[in-house]
Amino acid sequence: MNTALLIPYVDVHAAGQPGRVLTASHLLASGKTMAQRLEYARTNLDWLRQLVLHEPRGYPAMCAVLITGPCDPRADVGLIVLEQGGFKPMSGSNAMCAVTALIETGAFPATEPLTTIVLDTAVGLVHVTASVRAGKVTQVSVRNVPAFVEVLDFPLDVPHLGVINVDVVFGGQYYVQARAADARVPLLPSAGKAIARAGALIRTAARQQIPVKHPDNPDINQIDLVMLHGPTDTPGASARNAVILCSEDVSLDAPDTWTGTLDRSPCGTGTSGRMAAKHARGELPFGAEFVHESITGSLFTGYLEGAVDGHARGAVRPMIAGAAWITGVGYLALDPSDPYPQGFTLGDLWAQ
């Protein structure tokens, strides 16, 4: 093969959300801590993120995971998340994808019925327990990083939507969360464009009006994602949601930019933040089950283990469980004559 670069990957989806696990790119991320590696990736490896996620190798809903060696000696592997909006410190669905890929390909030794993997991330250690039967991962339980509330019921002035009460929470990334009814959208797949439009307007307003800074990693200092939530009629589910990854170039004067892509899963870090907000309101006691439904109807099951001792923001410890499935194994190739070494996006499908 006439290639300048070959990138081994395992494609996985967790509850419908695709995660491309990069199993042999660990030498690319430099740094003595995972926070340093995350910043290194943001500064130096955006070419890799675009190559992997953009067309013709990727598509708008795709995420990826860079697997590295751990920096913390208590951890087994390091994890950096690649999203269409950039490199991120943590993702629940992508953690499920990574652990499933590592175990089912034999890259990490499996112990049945339970295999424990400790992930090193830029926002702390994540303890993951995989249920394994005959080499197959049947469930992944993620003991997430501390989740906390920045603000509750903030009266956010959203252009074209009016004033909406929102919560800003951290569950591995920063979210602005609001009731879908207040944004005047139904939580239905057919309403995907309207949901993305509302999300783009809400995140833009939240970034302008609500400053954030993570207490342990000050480089994490902006709201990345939007969750719109509401009730559900699905038996056994507690609530329904849609998470929006908005275009990075939203202009309030250009309606064509009010767009983004929707998480196909119930979203692990978003569910963690949602549970923290519900607990802060007295709506979710420690240990109580919270079953979150995605826009596609898939489910994650969560609960809050308890308070995090001594945390600056009064954080809680979320637990999230779901399942993931391998969908493909192969290599991404870059021919030296390929005119699209960082891929491309088009406005017919992408949030430009």
72's CB contacts (< 8 A; 6+ apart) are 34, 120, 125
Residue 298, strand partner residues:
none
Exactly one of 91, 141, 247, 294 is catalytic; name it. Answer: 91
Q: Terminal CA-to-CA distance of the chain, rounded, Å?
A: 33
Give the residue carrying structure tokens 């290194």. 40
Q: Which one, of 280, 226, 246, lies nearest residue 350 by Cα?
A: 246
Question: Tokens representing 15?
Answer: 């509850």
Q: Taken in order 332, 26, 65, 291, is the CA torsion positive or negative? A: positive
91 given a catalytic annotation: yes
SS3 labels along the chain: CCCCEEEEEEEEEECCEEEEEECCCHHHCCCCCHHHHHHHHHHHCHHHHHHHHCECCCCCCCEEEEEECCCCCCCCEEEEEEECCEEECCCHHHHHHHHHHHHHCCCCCCCCCEEEEEEEECCEEEEEEEEEECCEEEEEEEECCCEEEEEEEEEEEECCCEEEEEEEEECCCEEEEEECCCCCCCCCHHHHHHHHHHHHHHHHHHHHHCCCCCCCCCCCCCCCEEEEEECCCCCCCCEEEEEEEECCCCCCCCHHHCCEEECCCCCHHHHHHHHHHHHHCCCCCCCCCEEEECCCCCEEEEEEEEECCCCCCCCEEEEEEECEEEEEEEEEEECCCCCCCCCECCCCCCCC
- Residues serving a catalytic function are 91
